[in-house]
Amino acid sequence: MHGFSLQVPGGRIAGLRSGTAGAPRVLALHGWLDNAASFVPLAPHLGDVELVAPDLPGHGQSFHLAPGADYSFAGAVHAVLDVADALEWETFTLLGHSMGAGIASRVAAGCPERVERLVAIEALGALPDLAERTAARLREAVVARRALRDKQLRVFADPAPAVRARMAANALGEASARLLVERGLKEVEGGFTWSSDPRLTLPTMVRMTPEQVDDLVAGITCRTRVIYADPPQPYLPEPERSRRARLLPRGELVVVPGGHHLHMERPADVAAAIGDFLVS
């Protein structure tokens, strides 16, 4: 994959792309605090597609939101559509991992005329919360946001400790962690620090209720293939994750042995689960 940058209304989007212009167009959305390098291991296995993997706003080498602004899934939806507009892609397929699959779910449900297919890896829809948790969640988010002003970023003397931190945090092998870290660090005085915007670590102020998440998933009308890792993640356990996938009007579910970043750690297996879905 090779680098690219695009100007969108919010600022500069950086990313990685591969494939041939004119092949089926696939927009790949990475997970939370990851970046475009998340798709480097998978890209060679996807066949003849034009793959574009942006660093989502606040991640990797892309722009950060202006001071005082908050990251939201509504904003992420428009960021994805802005990238597609800058590419002059009227329609496209979405390939998302984790948070990226959640964003892709919202784009597919909210702008169905532009999304041809959806591949959702390790997430579908959104993380819900109970209606009676609304005020408590809002208070937690406000406190966290105000406290962030005094937080100091960790500085690494060299990238090695950052690689070890990602390996420990995400149960990643060294090669996968290094891909993410090399794109996710920036040089500062005294060494390196994460390039991602610290505001991304804040809790979401308002979440959908379980009923709203179900309606969102049921509103994804394009052909969809959901790929889950086995064992399941605590945030989307069985049988809930399979029940949610069954809400898709045109959905298929595939379970692949592996961890949460299975598209990086077991790319050939994930590509086999995708099969010819991206081009059929």
Query: Edge-to-edge, what's the strand order for the sheet holding 2-8?
Result: 2-8, 11-18, 50-54, 25-29, 92-97, 115-121, 223-230, 251-257
Q: Is residue 195 part of a domain?
A: no
Distance from C-alpha of 171 to C-alpha of 65, rounded to nearest angstrom: 29
Q: What's CA 69's distance to the chain center, in Å?
A: 20
**Catalytic residue at 195?**
no
Q: Is residue 168 part of a domain?
A: no
Q: Is residue 219 part of a domain?
A: yes
Q: What is the pLDDT of residue 153?
A: 86
Q: Is residue 187 part of a domain?
A: no
List the beta bridge partners of residue 244: none
Range of the domain at 117: 2-129+206-274
List the beta bridge partners of residue 255: 228
> Cis peptide before 231, with omega less than 30 degrees from 0?
yes
Q: What is the pLDDT of residue 125?
A: 97
Q: What is the pLDDT of residue 151?
A: 82
Q: Please count the structural domains in the chain.
A: 1
Tell me if 250 sits within 8 A of 224, measured CB to CB: yes
Q: Is residue 270 part of a domain?
A: yes
Q: Which phi and psi angles does 254 have, rounded to 5°?
A: -130, 135
Q: Is residue 149 part of a domain?
A: no
State the DSSP code for 156. B
> How high is the mean pLDDT in each 10-residue block of the chain (280 residues)?
96 97 96 98 96 98 95 96 98 98 98 98 97 97 92 90 94 97 95 96 96 98 98 94 98 97 98 94
Q: What is the pLDDT of residue 152?
A: 84
> Would you state the torsion angle of the CA atoms of residues 273, 276, 279, 280, taken in this order, to the nearest 10 degrees?
-120
Distance from C-alpha of 23 to C-alpha of 227, rounded to nearest angstrom: 23
- CATH number for the domain spanning 66: value is 3.40.50.1820
Residue 273 C-beta-side C-alpha neighbours within 13 Å: 26
Q: What's CA 130's distance to the chain center, in Å?
A: 24
Residue in 18, 38, 62, 98 annotated catalytic: 98
Q: Is residue 183 part of a domain?
A: no
Tell me if 278 sits within 8 A of 24, measured CB to CB: yes
Residue 138: other Cβ atoms inside 10 A:
14
Residue 8, SS3? strand
List the beta bridge partners of residue 188: 191
HEC string of 218-230? HCCCCEEEEEEEE
**Residues in CB range of 240: below 8 A, 6 or more apart:** none
Cβ density class 189-217: b for 16+ within 10 Å, e for less = eeebbbbbbebbebebbebbebeebbebb
Distance from C-alpha of 178 to C-alpha of 43, rounded to nearest angstrom: 17
Q: Is residue 161 part of a domain?
A: no
